[in-house]
Amino acid sequence: MKASDLFIKALEAEDVEYVFGIPGEENLDFLDSLSRSEIKLILTRHEQAAGFMAATYGRLTGKAGVCLSTLGPGATNFVTASAYAQLGGMPMMMITGQKPVKTSKQGQFQIVDIVDMMRPLTKYTRQLVSGANIPSRVREAFRLAQEEKPGAVHLELPEDIAAEETDEPVIPASLVRRPIAEEKSVRAAVERIQNAKHPFLIVGAGANRKMTCNMLRTFVDRFGIPFVTTQMGKGVVDERGPLFLGNATLSAGDFVHRAAEASAADSRSETPPQSCMEALNRLIAGNERFVAGELRHPHLGNDWRKRLTGGQQPFATILGCSDSRVPPELLFDQGFGDLFVIRVAGNVIDTDVTGSVEYGVDHLSTQVVIVMGHDGCGAVTAALHSEEHLAKEPNEIRSLVGKIKPAIVSVRRDQAFSIQLRQSVEANVRASVRLLLNVPDLARSVKDDKTKIIGCVYDIDTGRVRTLDTQSTKRR
């Protein structure tokens, strides 16, 4: 049979119903074969329209829509539709004509490398160089177009190849199976939804699959969770009900985006951090809210307090000064059970403090240890004073200040006192970090990436907590 007849039979085997496109000299053999098929040709006025029709057909049915053009400028008109299908996850096949590839008398007239042009815009693009290749190329193109993530594919059929004789058989279509989420992932999603304070669904293009669509509608109706749609998620769930909040097409700050941000913030506050950096970032974000005066005050209600009767699961250990102006839960905008707090004047390290930090890391699995000094620290100020001045203090105060003095011996005393104090506060924090890193069990947890020990300084004037370069501090 003629290769173009074989191409049409391959399309019939893929259950193609329509071909959208425009006739041209280079696809006349294909159209002649199509005229004897039950597949209907839908004539359009422009190739781009044919491409959009094929992509939309693919989106609505889940089967690859097929569009047809001639060579050169006709084929280039498919570019926008191909990008649309590829980005939106819509299965579509583009078939373009081409001058004979074995012999041609027209030079380079309207010859464009369409295959190479389509490469970044498709999942698969090939030129057919033999009629015998048609069944395998068509099957592979449809398989890729319809498998996750669906998208655009392209085959170029030159005139001389379409006219070839071939006896290759058609390859039957295979069943496309959607990937199924792993059981652990499903359980994790269920747990997060159950624990969410304000669950919120964003329905995107990936939900536009027949089974997913039906299940999602049932899920929304049963559990009454509000939802919004992206541009390509429209139509997946009935938007006429009270749970639909809108479409995420406007700029940030509108109702839909604010609802998403509020729900995401609640989700982050309810879900324990999954890594050391996530724990640190949560503290940083909380301090940013404190500085901006946008406190959320998470985990302060009676319901949350009662949830902690069975035990605590803080995500961070905070070693801070006992100064009444430096309350860690407020500075980091955290609540009951979020922080394991150890407070001692000058955040000095002794056996009791070290044991408390070890308990936080080893028994409570806190993922970050913050050693936090603050500007204007009274204990550090006392350490800068002369021995004669300290002699007037009670014995225990002198003992505490004496633990700070070794950390600040390198601070130059010929500077303004305010500069000395700032540098001494930082030096004292770094010294505390070094002492903790010298504790074998803590050092092992840091090495195994189970926790991080980080030095910070709190600025009472601005409210900001800034981190010091203590991760590079070596053990001594």
> Does residue 25 lie within any of the structural domains?
yes
Q: Are residues 294 and 262 in the same domain?
A: no
Residues 385 and 377: beta-carbon distance below 8 Å: no
Residues 352 and 437: beta-carbon distance below 8 Å: no
Q: Phi-psi category of 238—alpha, beta or left, where left has phi over 0 and alpha has psi -120 to 50?
A: beta
Q: Are residues 346 and 429 in the same domain?
A: yes
Quick one: CA dihedral 309, 310, 311, 315, positive or negative?
negative
* pLDDT at residue 245 is higher than 70: yes
* pLDDT at residue 359 is higher than 90: yes
Confidence bin at 107 (pLDDT 50/70/90):
low
Q: Are residues 140 and 197 in the same domain?
A: no
- Residue 10 CB coordination number (10 Å): 24
* pLDDT at residue 357 is higher than 50: yes
Region of poorest pLDDT, from 9-18, 44-53, 130-139, 404-413: 404-413
Alpha helices in 224-325 (DSSP H): 255-270, 276-292, 302-307
Q: What confidence tens digit (pLDDT) does each residue in 445-474 have?
A: 999 999 999 999 999 999 999 999 765 444
Query: What CA–CA distance (Å, rounded) separates 381 from 421?
Result: 6
> What is the enclosing helix (H) or strand (E) of 136?
helix 134-146
pTM metric for this prediction: 0.55
Quick one: CA dihedral 61, 15, 32, 28, positive or negative?
positive
Q: Are residues 282 and 253 in the same domain?
A: no
- The percent helix, strand, coil of the chain (3-state, each to 5) is 45, 15, 40
Q: What confidence tens digit (pLDDT) does each residue in 70-88 have?
A: 988 999 999 999 999 999 8
β 18-21/65-69 pair status: parallel
Query: What CA–CA distance (Å, rounded) separates 23 from 388?
Result: 101
Confidence bin at 15 (pLDDT 50/70/90):
very high
AA identity, residue 417: F
CA angle 425, 431, 433 (to 5 degrees): 105
> Does residue 343 lie within any of the structural domains?
yes
> What is the enclosing helix (H) or strand (E) of 457?
strand 452-458
- For 38-63, what is the mean pLDDT? 95
Q: Are residues 8 and 154 in the same domain?
A: yes
Q: Bridge partners of 157?
A: 97
Q: Tell me which residue of 286, 301, 433 sits closest to 372, measured CA to CA.
A: 433
> Based on the structure, what is the number of domains in the chain?
3
Q: Which domain holds residue 253?
A: 183-268
> Does residue 397 lie within any of the structural domains?
yes
- End residue of a domain, out of 248, 268, 288: 268
Q: Are residues 194 and 111 in the same domain?
A: no
Q: Are residues 235 and 133 in the same domain?
A: no
CATH number at residue 61: 3.40.50.970
Burial classification of residue 247, based on how many CB atoms lie within 10 Å of its CB (0-12 exposed, 13-18 middle, 19 or more buried): middle
pLDDT of residue 186: 86
Region of poorest pLDDT, from 114-128, 136-150, 366-380, 396-410: 396-410
Q: Are residues 68 and 209 in the same domain?
A: no
Q: Are residues 139 and 195 in the same domain?
A: no
User: Does a cis peptide bond (omega within 30 degrees of 0) precede residue 2?
Assistant: no
Question: Who contacts 426 (Cβ-Cβ below 8 Å, separation ≥6)?
Answer: 373, 455, 457, 468
Query: What CA–CA distance (Å, rounded) separates 68 from 96?
Result: 6
Torsion, CA 220, CA 225, CA 227, CA 232, rounded to 10: -30
